[in-house]
Structure 1
Amino acid sequence: MEHIIDLDRYPLHRPQSAAWHALVHHAKSGLARDGLFNLEGFMQPQALADVLGDVHPRMAVESFHHRRAHNIYFKDAVDGLAPDHPALKKVETANHTLCHDQMRGTALDEIYQWPEFATFLAAVMDKAQLYTMDDALAGLNVLEYRPGEALNWHFDRSIFTTTLLLQEASHGGLFEYAKDLRRDDDPNHAGIAELLAGRIAPTTLAQSAGTLNVFLGVNTAHRVSTVGPGTSRIVSVLSHYDTPGCAFTADEQMGFFGRVA
């Protein structure tokens, strides 16, 4: 894996070594402090260039163009809120998606399937073990946000999200978040309404291509801002779960990817 991951900086291949434990501690500290951590330069430059060489032509002709209007909850209704409540304000998300079966044999696929990668994430998340998805489409995705497109405000369903930035946008396309905007015991609908109205300034996360990011997004609202003219933003999402055999339903596959495996 040394040709794909900078193992000198990030020794995932030496679990339980002193350097590995130091890296796990660094990652846990970031999650506790900021709700996220970054490993800049995680992917080797040539491996990154090779992946983009695979992604660009496929995106041009094979990607699924996903566009939808939604509220921050991705739900039609929320208990206790009137349909016109400002916390249910509609926003729009649009992107182009490649699925795992289109990325087989690439460096991204090698990272995703590498047991030591899951072992590292499990240690950071205090899980006994993490598993790749048993889904031909959903486990590894590559998302492109072209000029005028964005991933709009939302909360995640999964406890953590793992991404690897492949290409920075020339303008816009920035990851923004409002940490702990709600709690398990406090939905904070008023605060969400303030965010959607633009009266809460989110934190902007600066990232460079090749950076691995792990983010806790269940109670932290987040988005990718609208991409401006020029280069698009391209990011891969690598999904792990603490139970084996996880997969999307056929309806979910159709909704997210425009096809069923």
Structure 2
Amino acid sequence: MELALADIINLDKNPLNDGAFRKACKRTLDETGALVIKEFLKPALIPLLQQEGKDNQHLAYYTTNKHNVYLTENDDNHSDSHPKNRTVTSSKGCITTDQIPNNSVLHSLYDASEFRDFLCDVLGEQALYEYADPLSSINLHYADEGQELGWHYDNSSFAITLMVQSPREGGIFEYVKDARDADNGDMNYAMTGNILDGDIDTESLSMEPGTLVLFRGRNSMHRVTPTIGEQTRMLVVLAYNTQPNVSLSESARMTFFGRLK
């Protein structure tokens, strides 16, 4: 049964339909590249989502990938030490939209028109659409002990995530804002290399369970440090498109999900 938004979101703290609240959120995202909304979910839902995640973790497809920060093939025109040819490791498990239970609060939140309207205002988009394929709209990511996301830039202009369970230690989201300007062709290889060398101070986001995060990662280099301890980090990615009838590429679906449908 589809839940009302008031049953999902702590609207007293996060009045999504309030114009001033929306403007404040947009200003924060525009100025810092990251919007962290703590206590977004109703507290009673957090243990339910955590148990749901544990119950379905056996369905997860686990991958370990070596990649460069641009998520592209290496470039023979540059040396092995160039950022285009330096590799990092990303490893995680993932369950897909069709593996999220039909009665999950995640479907109700993802589909809620008021939630999408709020996201459109804050992101500056005209409309947001679900993926046309059955796998890519809602993904629950698992990071067991030692698993991490290596440094990278996103291909998309925004990401929307919801923290379900934090690890005991580690699993920290670190980023460097505006490390490049891809839209204007300024790739800033020198700074990217310095970040990989650990010579640049990073910022981090605090994400307790129930926290919603909007992040612009196209130009801000970011990673998630390895999980430490036996408690799995569980994070939901709510993925939308700015155009209708878009599917994640077949190569990406095979890489991340191990299947096409």
TM range (shorter): over 0.9
Number of the residue aligned with 1:52: 50
SS across alignment from 2:30: helix
For the 8 Å contact 2:171–2:233, the answer to whether it is kept is yes
Q: Equivalent of 2:133, from 131, 135, 157?
A: 135
CA distance in 2, matches of 1:207, 1:249: 30
Cα distance, 1:213 vs. partner? 0.4
TM-score scaled by length of structure 1: 0.93
CA distance in 2, matches of 1:39, 1:155: 22
Matches within 5 A, 1:95-114: 95-103=92-100, 104-114=102-112
For the 8 Å contact 2:94–2:140, the answer to whether it is kept is yes
Number of the residue aligned with 2:62: 65
For the 8 Å contact 1:166–1:235, the answer to whether it is kept is yes
Q: CA RMSD in A?
A: 1.5
CA distance in 2, matches of 1:93, 1:247: 23
Q: Equivalent of 1:38, from 36, 39, 44?
A: 36
Alpha-carbon displacement from aligned partner over 1:221-258 (angstroms, at most 9, x marks no partner): 00111111231211000011111111113322111101
Number of the residue aligned with 1:77: 74
Q: Which runs of 5+ in 2 are unaligned?
A: none
Alpha-carbon displacement from aligned partner over 1:176-215 (angstroms, at most 9, x marks no partner): 0011001133111011111111111211111211000000
Cα distance, 1:87 vs. partner? 4.9
Number of matched pairs: 254
CA distance in 1, matches of 2:105, 2:146: 29
Cα distance, 1:80 vs. partner? 5.7
Residue 255 (structure 2) pairs with residue 255 (structure 1): yes
Q: Equivalent of 1:5, from 9, 15, 28?
A: 9
Alpha-carbon displacement from aligned partner over 1:48-76 (angstroms, at most 9, x marks no partner): 211111110211x1100011111101111
CA distance in 2, matches of 1:132, 1:86: 33
Alpha-carbon displacement from aligned partner over 1:9-32 (angstroms, at most 9, x marks no partner): 2233xx4xxxx1112111111112
Which 10-residue stretch deviates more, 200-209 or 81-90? Answer: 81-90
Number of the residue aligned with 1:194: 194
Alpha-carbon displacement from aligned partner over 1:32-61 (angstroms, at most 9, x marks no partner): 2210111111111221211111110211x1
Paired amino acid for 1:187: M
For the 8 Å contact 1:95–1:143, the answer to whether it is kept is yes
Number of the residue aligned with 2:236: 236
For the 8 Å contact 2:68–2:74, the answer to whether it is kept is no
Quote the sequence identity (%). Answer: 30
Matches within 5 A, 1:156-167: 156-167=154-165
SS across alignment from 1:112: helix
